[in-house]
Structure 1
Amino acid sequence: MYIKARVSLLCTYDSDADAAYIYLEHPVPPAAAERVIPFDIKDGMFNLDLDTEGHVLGLEILGARKRLPHALLGVMLDQNQEQTEQS
């Protein structure tokens, strides 16, 4: 059986580190990421954060400018600029 659903995700971007984080659970409880599973692909590094039961909490994407779809990165950069201006 195939189920299709749309859900909102929280995504953050750190321009200094060129790293994005896609939260599958938010907020991630302190020290909840019991296990980090790194995996590499050419020109990028990804980390899956898992809890003690093996549920995926989030995905970290290093080298995000090269790896993320332009539309998603653009939204995150626009949001970051708005937050900076409000501070």
Structure 2
Amino acid sequence: MYTEKRIPLLCSYDSDADTAYIYLDHPIPPAAAQRVIPFDPDQGMFNLDLNPEGHVVGLEILGARSRLPPALLQAILKNQDQTENKP
């Protein structure tokens, strides 16, 4: 049975690379311990990261400014600012 529930997700954004990352598991295993599956192969703009068991642990979004809803990107940036400014 499917149950709907809102859960917090850890998200990050790198403005220099214009890349967002949505963590579905944390911490993400080192690159050598995971598999990356690109999709939208024409543009190569999204990558799914899988752990060794084949579970999706994260989603990387390249060109995030043009691909994410502005409200989501703003929420990620606001959260990052608050986290970085904690004593």
CA RMSD of aligned residues (A): 2.4
**1:28-61 C-alpha deviation (Å, 9 max, x unpaired):** 1334652100012776700000011110010000
**How many residues are paired up?**
87
Unaligned ranges ≥5, structure 1: none
CA distance in structure 2 between the aligned counterparts of 1:44 and 1:18, rounded to whole angstroms:
14
Unaligned ranges ≥5, structure 2: none
> What is the SS of the residue equivalent to 1:75?
helix
Contact 2:50 2:56 in 1 (8 A): yes
CA distance in structure 1 between the aligned counterparts of 2:64 and 2:37, rounded to whole angstroms:
17
TM-score, with structure 1 as normaliser: 0.82
More strand per residue? 1
TM-score, with structure 2 as normaliser: 0.82
Q: Give the counterpart letter for 1:37 in structure 2.
A: I
Q: Percent identity?
A: 64
